[in-house]
Amino acid sequence: MPAEPQRLERPADGAITSQFGRRDVDYLKGLNEEQRDAVLTTEGPLLVLAGAGTGKTRVLTTRIAHILTSGKARGAEILSVTFTNKAAREMKERIAHLVGASVEGMPWLGTFHSIGARILRRHAELVGLKSDFTILDTDDQIRLIKQLLEVENIDEKRWPARQFAGMMDNWKNRGLLPRDISPADASIYANGRAQQLYAAYQDRLKVLNAVDFGDLLLECIRLFREHPDVLGEYHRRFKYMLVDEYQDSNVAQYLWLRLLAQGKPASEANICVVGDDDQSIYGWRGAEVDNILRFEKDFPGAKVTRLERNYRSTSNILAAASHLIAHNESRLGKTLQTDVGEQGDLVGVTSVWDSEEEARQIGEEIEQFQRQGQRLNSMAILVRASFQMREFEERFITLGLNYRVIGGPRFYERKEIRDALAYMRLVAQPADDLAFERIVNVPKRGLGDSTLKVLFDTARHQNIPLLAATRILLETEELKPRQRATLRELVGQFDNWAERSRIVPHFELAEQILDESGYTAMWQNDKSPDSPGRLENLKELVRSMEEFETLGGFLEHISLVMDRDSGEAEDAVSIMTLHSAKGLEFDTVFLPGWEEGLFPHQRSLDEGGRAGLEEERRLAYVGITRARKRLRLSLAQNRRIHGLWQSAIPSRFLDELPPDAVEVKDTGSAYGGYGYGGRSAGRFNFADPFDSVYETPGWKRARAQHGSRRSPGPVTIDGDLVARSVDDGRGSAYGVGQRVFHLKFGYGTIASLEGNKLTIDFEKAGRKKVLDSFVQKG
């Protein structure tokens, strides 16, 4: 049948059902031409490409209101899917504002998983369940996997249960049942037994009358495929389907939707998806940007409406965003245009010496904005990695600036940081029972509740600290031999660390404690998506200790920091990761850390290749489009890791910004001349490596030797840009076998010389060629 004409229709005279809840079409007022077109195109497949700040939620809710008000369908005949409960509540409130009580008759408005659970409970027997099935949380899921591993005599230490839980979650996100697992996938866990374990896990769930989160869609897909009559029932039920944030859908969600949309020929399906391919940033948790990119192939003849009129940002900010995202190849294409009516400030790009200076400069700029009457609530700092937050938190505490961390706890309140601090507190103060209690079984040491009860009872009866009570119990028979051996090893470790604390620098000791206790290995073996971030936070914690003379001084500083009022300040700067910022907006946005390896993140490039780079670029686009009036980007030329300065390269994203929308506020002292994609030195790779306030003897000598010899271009040796310099024929002041220090590569021994070029065997970086002006005698 031909598609119904795409126009706003009044119900025919005498049509009774269409008059219920009848209202005037006031809800169409204020819509621009593209929004109005998306609302009134009710028949056939429709893709609404909604750019950042273009009013997509308003379009989605107004479209539902139009369908209800025009009598095309009742509330129970509309399937409206969102990704979060918060978004579902907001949508329901907006629709209620437009059509009143009619929204209460919309039982199929919700998240993918809530609607999936509703369908499963109605047909539970057909998939081997009862209607009152339990939905397991992550802890229950891990416990069940451990039981299966024990039954199968699989060593859980070698093959962690959490790792297998992550694998199954990935399979379920891809819509794979146990029979669908390939031999290659099965081979990477428990010596090829992954498929067998997956099947045993699913069978055990049926016995328990339970499902996990992934099953809410996976079992629905199986239900629809194996019972066409049930699927047909939903085809008849749902006259219209609407999906929000379609770019974030995974394979299972895509398959679920495709099955439900098959009630009509693909070219006539009344399915509307709203999304932005340029804001697909959750590939690491299974989202497939290809779902939105191939919508027109899945539904031939689909209409595409682009919402490009931005109601949020100034033209300079939108120009930066559009110019940047245009470098992605996998996109449908659109260009945001401002409706704000002003060009606004240029996008500021600032280069600073290190992350400490970056935090200081941003803090000062925030204070300046505050003096001009701007509220802290209107400002945000969006970081690529959570470890970046620490520098800003410490700076704001020093300045007395209120701040809040969104999407997670403050740096020193994170679980991994509290655990690490507990180890250090117990080394510094053996009577710290709270610290002992926190880490005695972290990582797991096989100490059960009965063992801990004996420890606590002994400490209480003898009025001594827990660590001292443990020493006493090591000489008695109250505890079993295995528990005594475990505690003896732990006590020995603390004695060793306490002895070393007198001679080893405290930041080196901290690293040793985390390694020798097994705490670092615990997170390395953890396969959850947040474990890499936790490891980065631990590295940042150790790095932050270098600024203090003693372990005691550091711990006292932490106590003062954590004593800060944790209540949400009424007016406060927001600090969050870029992933947490999606959907938010602020007058002023700071985006720090625009350096290669940090943004784009090296892990994304290593694991995802070009697709990973494009997702990082989409993340940059999301960050830029959070700003309404002012946008500030910054990069640190150096980051100190384990006591050594490492030079940072400006992010390739900086050279993808439009020159006429950007103002470089500080050329700083970054090494010059990096180019990407065959281009010459970029605009943000700064010209003079000696314009620095960093005053070491080697740096002073390099600057003095540099003098007026300004090379027109960079010198690249073995792929590493080391400095701008030339050999003036004077040779080198160094000799073979001499020990030297390099700011980036650390200590090493000269292996050979060629003019002023040194070949050095560095202790940690291996053999490198460098210029003698950048080393000093070690």
| Residues 13-48 pLDDT 10s | 333 334 334 444 577 888 999 999 999 999 999 999
Active site residue 245: yes
| pLDDT at 718 exceeding the cut of 50 | no
Overall average pLDDT of the 683-699 stretch: 43
Q: Which amino acid is at 534?
A: R
Which tokens belong to 604?
């994304």
Task: State the pLDDT at residue 454.
Answer: 86
Indicate the pLDDT class of residue 242, thresholds 50, 70 and 90: very high
Asked if the peptide bond before residue 443 counts as cis, ω within 30 degrees of 0, the response is yes
Active site residue 754: no
Report the half-sphere exposure of 512 (CA within 13 A, side-chain side).
15
Indicate the pLDDT class of residue 754, thresholds 50, 70 and 90: confident
Question: What does each C-alpha distance from 324 to 87, 276, 320, 368, 667 come to in angstroms?
Answer: 28, 15, 6, 29, 21
CA distance linking residue 683 with residue 37, whole number of Å: 42
CA distance linking residue 585 with residue 451, whole number of Å: 51
Q: Judge whether 626 and 379 are in contact, CB under 8 Å.
A: no
Could you write out the three-class secondary structure of 463-475?
A: CCCHHHHHHHHCC
Overall average pLDDT of the 503-525 stretch: 90
Range in 230-244, 415-429, 540-554, 609-623 with the lowest mean pLDDT: 540-554
Collapsing DSSP to helix, strand or coil, 157 comes out as coil
Range in 72-86, 166-180, 453-467, 674-688 with the lowest mean pLDDT: 674-688
Q: What are the E-state strand segments in 290-402?
A: 303-307, 309-310, 337-338, 347-352, 379-383
- Beta pairing class for 240-243 and 78-82: parallel
| pLDDT at 658 exceeding the cut of 80 | yes
Q: Judge whether 404 and 410 are in contact, CB under 8 Å.
A: no
Element (H, E) at 69: helix 56-69
Active site residue 606: no
Does residue 513 or residue 742 have the better pLDDT?
A: 513
| 110-121 per-position pLDDT tens digit | 889 999 999 999
Q: Which candidate, 384, 444, 637, 411, places its Cα nearest to that of 534? A: 411
| pLDDT at 1 exceeding the cut of 80 | no
Which tokens belong to 441?
């079984």
| 336-362 per-position pLDDT tens digit | 888 766 788 999 999 998 888 999 999
Active site residue 738: no
Q: Which amino acid is at 570?
A: E
Q: Which candidate, 621, 708, 724, 615, places its Cα nearest to that of 672? A: 724
**Tally of CB atoms within 10 A around 84:** 12
Q: Which candidate, 161, 223, 170, 158, places its Cα nearest to that of 197? A: 161
Out of 41, 42, 279, 577, pick the active-site residue: 279
CA 26 to centroid of chain Cα atoms: 41
| pLDDT at 716 exceeding the cut of 60 | no
The label of the residue with tokens 């510094």 reads 428
Number of H helices, E strands in the chain: 27, 26
Active site residue 342: no
Give the pTM.
0.69
Out of 219, 244, 433, 511, pick the active-site residue: 244
Active site residue 462: no
CA distance linking residue 216 with residue 272, whole number of Å: 23
**DSSP letter, residue 10:** P
Out of 35, 37, 41, 56, pick the active-site residue: 56
